[in-house]
C-alpha cells in the first residue's frame, strides 16, 4: 500500500470521481481532473498497481432481485481461534444471502450483512446456517430499516 503522501490532488480527484461512478470514461475523467487522457490512463493504472483501486463493481438494489429484508447479524464464535474462524468465514461467504462479512472486536466476533427474501427466510438462515453450527455461541439479529452510504474513501488531509 502506498503512503498517502504518494497521492497528489489529481489522484484524489480521480478516486473521488471513480467512487461516484466507476464507469466514467477515461476522456471524461481526464477532462474533469484537468489532465490529458493518456496521463489519466497512466494515473489510474498506477493507482491499481499500488493497490489503491482494487476493482470495480455494480451496485445492485437487493429489493430489485427479491431480497427486500436486510439484517446485520452479530455472531460470537467459540473458541475464537483460527481453526474455528477460517471454516466459519468460508461457510458464511458461501451463503447467497451474505452481502458482507466483517471480523470485529467487542462482544461479537463477526458482523454479517445479509439480504433475504422475507423474515421467514431470515429466520431460516439464522436457525439453519448459523445456530446449528457447533462454533456459533450467539447470534443477535438487527433488521435494517434504512441505509445511507458514506464516502468517498480518500486519504486523510
66 and 25, same structural domain?
no
Q: What is the CB neighbour count within 10 angstroms for residue 14?
A: 25
Q: Which CA distances in Å does 153 have to 14, 19, 20, 50?
A: 12, 8, 10, 16
Q: Which residues of the chain have pLDDT under 70?
A: 1-5
First and final C-alpha spacing in the chain: 17
Q: What is the CATH number of the domain that holds 13?
A: 1.10.10.10
Domain range enclosing 13: 7-49
In a domain, 56, yes or no: no
Q: What is the CATH number of the domain that holds 112?
A: 3.30.70.920
In a domain, 153, yes or no: no
45 and 67, same structural domain?
no
- pLDDT score at 6: 86
- pLDDT score at 157: 80
Cell of 66: 427479491
85 and 34, same structural domain?
no
For residues 56 and 114, give the distance between their C-alpha atoms in angstroms, rounded to a whole number. 21
Q: What is the CB neighbour count within 10 angstroms for residue 3?
A: 8
Tally of domains in the chain: 2
For residues 71 and 30, give the distance between their C-alpha atoms in angstroms, rounded to a whole number. 40
Q: Is 45 exposed, middle or buried (0-12, 13-18, 19+ CB in 10 A)?
A: exposed
Amino acid at each position: 500500500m502506498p503512503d498517502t503522501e504518494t497521492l497528489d490532488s489529481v489522484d484524489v480527484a480521480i478516486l473521488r470521481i471513480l467512487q461516484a461512478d466507476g464507469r466514467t470514461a477515461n476522456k471524461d475523467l481526464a477532462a474533469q481532473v484537468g489532465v490529458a487522457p493518456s496521463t489519466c490512463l497512466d494515473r489510474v493504472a498506477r493507482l491499481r498497481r499500488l493497490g489503491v483501486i482494487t476493482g470495480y463493481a455494480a451496485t445492485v438494489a437487493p429489493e430489485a432481485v427479491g431480497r427486500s429484508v436486510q439484517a446485520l447479524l452479530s455472531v460470537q464464535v467459540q473458541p475464537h481461534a483460527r481453526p474455528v474462524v477460517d471454516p466459519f468465514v468460508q461457510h458464511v461467504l458461501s451463503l447467497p444471502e451474505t452481502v458482507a462479512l466483517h471480523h470485529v472486536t467487542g462482544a461479537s466476533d463477526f458482523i454479517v450483512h445479509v439480504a433475504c427474501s422475507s423474515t421467514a427466510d431470515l429466520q431460516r438462515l439464522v436457525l439453519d446456517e448459523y445456530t446449528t453450527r457447533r462454533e456459533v455461541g450467539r447470534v443477535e439479529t438487527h433488521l435494517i430499516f434504512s441505509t445511507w452510504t458514506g464516502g468517498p474513501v480518500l486519504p486523510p488531509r
